[in-house]
A and B are shown apart, each in its own frame.
Chain A
Amino acid sequence: MANDDSSGANYQESPGTGFLSRGFFATNHKTIGLSYLWLALFSVFLGMAMSLLMRIHLAWPGAHLPFLSSLGSSPDRFAALTTLHGSLMVFLVLTAAPQAGFGNYFLPLQIGAREMAFPTLNLFAFWATAASLLGLTTTFLIPPHPAITLWIVSVAIFCVGSLLNALNFSVTTIDLRAQGMTLPRLPLTVWAWFINAILGGLIFSILLAACVCLLSDRLLSTHFFPMLDSIANQPPGVIADAVPILWQRLFWFFAQAEVYVAMLPCFGLITHLVSTFSRKPVWKERLVVLALCAVGLFGFCVWGQHMFSSGMNPFSPLVFSLLASSLGLPAIILLISWFGTLWNARVQLNTAMLFTLGFISLFLSGGLSGIFLARHDLAAAAVSDDFVTGHFHLVMGVAATFAILGALFFWFPKMFGRRLNEPLGKIHFWLTFAGVYCVFMPMHWLGLIAHSPFLSGSSLASLTAAGSAMHSFITVAILLTVSAQGLFLVNFLWSLFRGETILECNPWRATTLEWSVPSPPPADDFGSADPVVYRGAYEFGVPDVAEDFVPQHVTPEQVVKVKGSPARKGKFVK
């Protein structure tokens, strides 16, 4: 059986020798996790190239583009570009990388399992995701009518893959934990993946149902979403009011929760990194778990927030507005916990931590503009505008990407046995950090200017001129930001083959189980002995212990105690 041969061959190989050589049918969770990350890397660069094209077109509509010269004259092409940029980034990058990519690789390692609960199902889910990427990319190359059908089919296939993933993640977390790995001892990354899997298992079903109805409309001439056919290939915004309410309901039911599907694993990753690099336990860890649960729960309930402008029962905007605002509560708890952990800590400012702090900054500034959008009267005025684009990209797109990059810098030594280059990483961070603020902050201003009701004619004209200058500024900023990503690509590829080799298991002196195994981990993860867990995941700065951390797998007898020296004690215990 091909399946057996390839997975068998895979175990003989040392992991980390490249993607293509591993074979396409290996069911090993690490191979699958890495494959997801490769997919995401490809998609993120493709998606960035598309955003670049869009911005160039917006700033200089007459510009002649090498192979897309028809872009200016064809609204279809521009709409397709927007759709494709969005779907690649949201599905293949933000949904796939933090959850399926890092999750598949590290969830079993962190809970002490040697494999996901259903490896064959996992492989199937991966290939479904890969097929949907292929389908989504192909849509750009074929005529609009079949392209839309193909897009819907690809999204439906992606839903199936995500549902299987969600199932696998939840069952693995529930049933495959190592001895001693009780729920309170779970790392917060695992909590986030787990809650996210449950949320994903619910909402992707809804998108799948919507896709089935939509496909039936297109292929079997049914009328679930009347009028959708005629407007589907129009540019967005032109006749947005005519989009059927039912489609909006189903779509936003999924899409609003999808935001949290992308963000939840990032919250977990960030909390984990903040604690590890501050060398302090997570402040109010239980409360953080509750907050993550609350994000999942509220995120599932706020779909109506997107429909303030589309005519609902007059009371429902109020309800949804309250719910959307109440999402602020868990977000504030998370923020307070991050700051509480950072408070008075000896922060190790390496690149992973820089990206973590960058995430917190973006989340904070993006979240502040979210407060405006959660107010239904304001949101109704600003909907489908630059303000929303700026808010959404800052808080979801870029912040989540920062979390992914932070996690990559953190786990790269474990995955490949080499370190990413720190100085290059730091330059990349600062350029990106400055770049994204220069891109998305002016978008907020553009959105506010456009909706200012107190403007007379002359000041409006001057503002319009300022607006067009701002568009050019944004485009230049995005050009610079995208080119800064070249640094990352160089760093990534160079470090993969030539980076500083890591000989120890635990270069970051972290506590969770994946750091107890060699880097990269062997094929069966934990070798001959099954891991046993003795304590919580964030035992940093424990009193009377020689080191400033105690890993989860070390038995109480093995913990090296300090010899009663007060000076030394004072150094490590806060």
Chain B
Amino acid sequence: MPGTTAFPDEEIIIEDIGGGGGGPPTPPGGGDDGDGGGDDRNRRRKWTPSPKRYSTAITIGLVSILMFFMALASAFIVLRYSSDLWVAVHLPRILWANTCVLLASSFTLESARQRLFLADAAGFRKFWLVTTALGLLFVTGQLIAWRQLVAQGVYIASNQASSFFYIFTGAHAVHLLGGVGALLFVSFGKFQKTKISLPAAAEITSYYWHFMDGLWIFLLALLYLGK
């Protein structure tokens, strides 16, 4: 039963979380990173790749994701100021509530990591699950925003502004769900296999999560100022 285990700082180790890149993490036991496999385990155990590779990977992966959104953002700016057919989208009010939820999730995530640092496993798990719930709440809120727009008759193909609204929010939600997957993985992952320590996994997930948070603020500002 999760939530009852105490986590010593360094002993609990989890598997490869997939190395960033924006995708959801590898499901537990889904990928073995190549050095599993019967007879070879003992021989290959001698060489363990540096654990720093996870944080390097998340940094590079985030730069790639940033480029993806920057390409979309530059397309938005180019079309916004060159198109005669631009019809502004009235942003649904719920977006502001969603933003608050996402910001709050960043704070709970940091609180969880604080608890982990203080070896308070139960507190860590509580805050961590709250973060996950807030993340899911945000995605639900985004879906509600979509439904509100649809109710007003604003579809993805209505005009360029609405296309950008749906593409931005959709792409961000997909990336954020990857982050939710990582959060769930840290909560429920199998910790027997020696790959990465729990604090390291939590740290990497937090980088990704805060980045998604900042990215959302940027996209919202773009949509708000560009309307």
- Residues on A lying within 8 angstroms of B by beta carbon are 1, 3-5, 7-8, 11-12, 27-28, 113-115, 117-121, 123, 163-164, 166-168, 170-172, 174-176, 198, 201-206, 208-210, 212-213, 216, 220-224, 245-246, 249-250, 253, 523-524, 528, 530
Q: Which residues of B contact A28 (CB under 8 A)?
A: 34
Q: Which residues of A contact B10 (CB under 8 A)?
A: none
Contact flag A167-B64 (CB < 8 Å), given A7-B37, A249-B78: yes
Taking A209-B72, A210-B71, A253-B71 as given, write out 9 further A-B residue pairs in contact, using a Cβ cutoff of 8 Å, ordered by the A residue number: A115-B35, A120-B32, A120-B34, A168-B19, A175-B50, A206-B71, A213-B72, A221-B156, A224-B79
Q: Which residues of B contact A249 (CB under 8 A)?
A: 74, 78
Q: Which residues of B contact A246 (CB under 8 A)?
A: 75, 78-79
Picked from A175, A204, A221, A528, the residue with its CB within 8 Å of the CB of B157 is A221
User: Which residues in chain B, 39-72, are within 8 Å of chain A measured between CB atoms?
Assistant: 39-40, 43-44, 46-47, 49-50, 52-53, 56-57, 60-61, 63-65, 67-72
Mind listing 20 A-B residue pairs with CB under 8 Å?
A3-B31, A8-B39, A118-B53, A120-B31, A166-B64, A171-B19, A171-B53, A172-B53, A198-B60, A201-B67, A209-B72, A212-B72, A212-B167, A213-B167, A220-B157, A222-B156, A224-B160, A250-B71, A524-B44, A528-B46
Q: Which residues of A contact B61 (CB under 8 A)?
A: 167
Closest Cβ of chain B to A3, distance in Å, is: 6
- Asked if residues B57 and A171 are in contact (CB atoms below 8 Å), the reply is yes
Does B140 sit at the interface, judged by CB under 8 A? Answer: no
Q: Which residues of A contact B75 (CB under 8 A)?
A: 209, 213, 224, 246, 250
- Asked if residues A163 and B163 are in contact (CB atoms below 8 Å), the reply is no
Closest Cβ of chain A to B52, distance in Å, is: 5
How many angstroms between the C-alpha atoms of A7 and B40 in the bound complex? 9
- Asked if residues B163 and A223 are in contact (CB atoms below 8 Å), the reply is yes
Contact flag A117-B53 (CB < 8 Å), given A167-B20, A220-B156: yes
How many angstroms between the C-alpha atoms of A119 and B15 in the bound complex? 13
Contact flag A202-B26 (CB < 8 Å), given A7-B36, A167-B19: no
- Asked if residues B49 and A202 are in contact (CB atoms below 8 Å), the reply is no
Contact flag A201-B60 (CB < 8 Å), given A4-B37, A175-B50, A176-B53: yes
Q: Which residues of B contact A253 (CB under 8 A)?
A: 71
Please provide the 10 A-B residue pairs with the shortest distance between their CB atoms, ordered closest to farther. A8-B37, A119-B34, A27-B34, A120-B31, A209-B71, A205-B67, A222-B163, A221-B157, A205-B68, A118-B19
How many angstroms between the C-alpha atoms of A417 and B37 in the bound complex? 26
Does B114 sit at the interface, judged by CB under 8 A? Answer: no
Does B3 sit at the interface, judged by CB under 8 A? Answer: no
- Asked if residues A121 and B21 are in contact (CB atoms below 8 Å), the reply is yes
Closest Cβ of chain A to B107, distance in Å, is: 29
- Asked if residues B49 and A115 are in contact (CB atoms below 8 Å), the reply is yes
Does B97 sit at the interface, judged by CB under 8 A? Answer: no
Contact flag A121-B19 (CB < 8 Å), given A213-B72, A223-B157, A249-B78: yes
How many angstroms between the C-alpha atoms of A28 and B32 in the bound complex? 12
Closest Cβ of chain A to B150, distance in Å, is: 13
How many angstroms between the C-alpha atoms of A396 and B47 in the bound complex? 39
Specify the chain B residue showing the minimal Cβ separation from A118: B19
Picked from B36, B38, B57, the residue with its CB within 8 Å of the CB of A117 is B57
- Asked if residues A216 and B163 are in contact (CB atoms below 8 Å), the reply is yes
Picked from B26, B32, B49, the residue with its CB within 8 Å of the CB of A1 is B32
Chain B interface residue number, banded: 35 or more
Q: Which residues of B contact A250 (CB under 8 A)?
A: 71, 75
Does B194 sit at the interface, judged by CB under 8 A? Answer: no
Closest Cβ of chain A to B178, distance in Å, is: 13
- Asked if residues B167 and A4 are in contact (CB atoms below 8 Å), the reply is no
How many angstroms between the C-alpha atoms of A571 and B121 in the bound complex? 70
Picked from A120, A245, A530, the residue with its CB within 8 Å of the CB of B33 is A120
Does B29 sit at the interface, judged by CB under 8 A? Answer: yes
Q: Which residues of B contact A7 (CB under 8 A)?
A: 32, 34, 36-37, 40
User: Which residues in chain B, 145-193, are within 8 Å of chain A measured between CB atoms?
Assistant: 156-157, 159-160, 163, 167, 171
Q: Which residues of A contact B60 (CB under 8 A)?
A: 166-167, 170-171, 198, 201
- Asked if residues B63 and A12 are in contact (CB atoms below 8 Å), the reply is no
Picked from B26, B52, B163, B167, the residue with its CB within 8 Å of the CB of A175 is B52
- Asked if residues A175 and B64 are in contact (CB atoms below 8 Å), the reply is no
Q: Which residues of B contact A172 (CB under 8 A)?
A: 53
Does B18 sit at the interface, judged by CB under 8 A? Answer: yes
Q: Which residues of A contact B37 (CB under 8 A)?
A: 4-5, 7-8, 11
- Asked if residues B49 and A223 are in contact (CB atoms below 8 Å), the reply is no
Q: Which residues of A contact B50 (CB under 8 A)?
A: 175-176
Q: Which residues of B contact A113 (CB under 8 A)?
A: 49
Q: Which residues of B contact A170 (CB under 8 A)?
A: 56, 60
Specify the chain B residue showing the minimal Cβ separation from A169: B60
Does B16 sit at the interface, judged by CB under 8 A? Answer: yes
Specify the chain B residue showing the minimal Cβ separation from A174: B56
How many angstroms between the C-alpha atoms of A464 and B201 in the bound complex? 68
- Pick from A5, A27, A171, A213 the residue with the most CB of B within 10 Å: A171
- Asked if residues A524 and B33 are in contact (CB atoms below 8 Å), the reply is no
Q: Which residues of B contact A1 (CB under 8 A)?
A: 29, 32, 36
How many angstroms between the C-alpha atoms of A204 and B47 in the bound complex? 32
How many angstroms between the C-alpha atoms of A249 and B71 in the bound complex? 10
- Asked if residues B53 and A175 are in contact (CB atoms below 8 Å), the reply is yes
How many angstroms between the C-alpha atoms of A113 and B44 in the bound complex? 12
How many angstroms between the C-alpha atoms of A167 and B20 in the bound complex? 9
Specify the chain B residue showing the minimal Cβ separation from A108: B49
- Asked if residues A167 and B157 are in contact (CB atoms below 8 Å), the reply is no
How many angstroms between the C-alpha atoms of A194 and B40 in the bound complex? 29
Closest Cβ of chain A to B44, distance in Å, is: 6
- Asked if residues A119 and B33 are in contact (CB atoms below 8 Å), the reply is yes
- Asked if residues A12 and B39 are in contact (CB atoms below 8 Å), the reply is yes
How many angstroms between the C-alpha atoms of A167 and B60 in the bound complex? 7
Q: Which residues of B contact A171 (CB under 8 A)?
A: 19, 53, 56-57, 60
- Asked if residues A202 and B19 are in contact (CB atoms below 8 Å), the reply is no
Q: Which residues of A contact B69 (CB under 8 A)?
A: 209
Specify the chain A residue showing the minimal Cβ separation from B85: A223
Q: Which residues of A contact B74 (CB under 8 A)?
A: 249
Closest Cβ of chain A to B227, distance in Å, is: 17
How many angstroms between the C-alpha atoms of A530 and B46 in the bound complex? 9
Specify the chain B residue showing the minimal Cβ separation from A31: B34
How many angstroms between the C-alpha atoms of A117 and B79 in the bound complex? 40
User: Which residues in chain B, 81-103, are within 8 Å of chain A measured between CB atoms?
Assistant: 82, 85
Closest Cβ of chain A to B124, distance in Å, is: 27
Q: Which residues of A contact B46 (CB under 8 A)?
A: 528, 530
- Asked if residues B64 and A201 are in contact (CB atoms below 8 Å), the reply is yes
Q: Which residues of B contact A174 (CB under 8 A)?
A: 53, 56
Closest Cβ of chain A to B93, distance in Å, is: 25
How many angstroms between the C-alpha atoms of A245 and B75 in the bound complex? 10
How many angstroms between the C-alpha atoms of A524 and B40 in the bound complex? 9
How many angstroms between the C-alpha atoms of A246 and B77 in the bound complex? 11
- Asked if residues A202 and B64 are in contact (CB atoms below 8 Å), the reply is yes
Contact flag A224-B53 (CB < 8 Å), given A118-B19, A206-B67: no
How many angstroms between the C-alpha atoms of A530 and B223 in the bound complex? 53
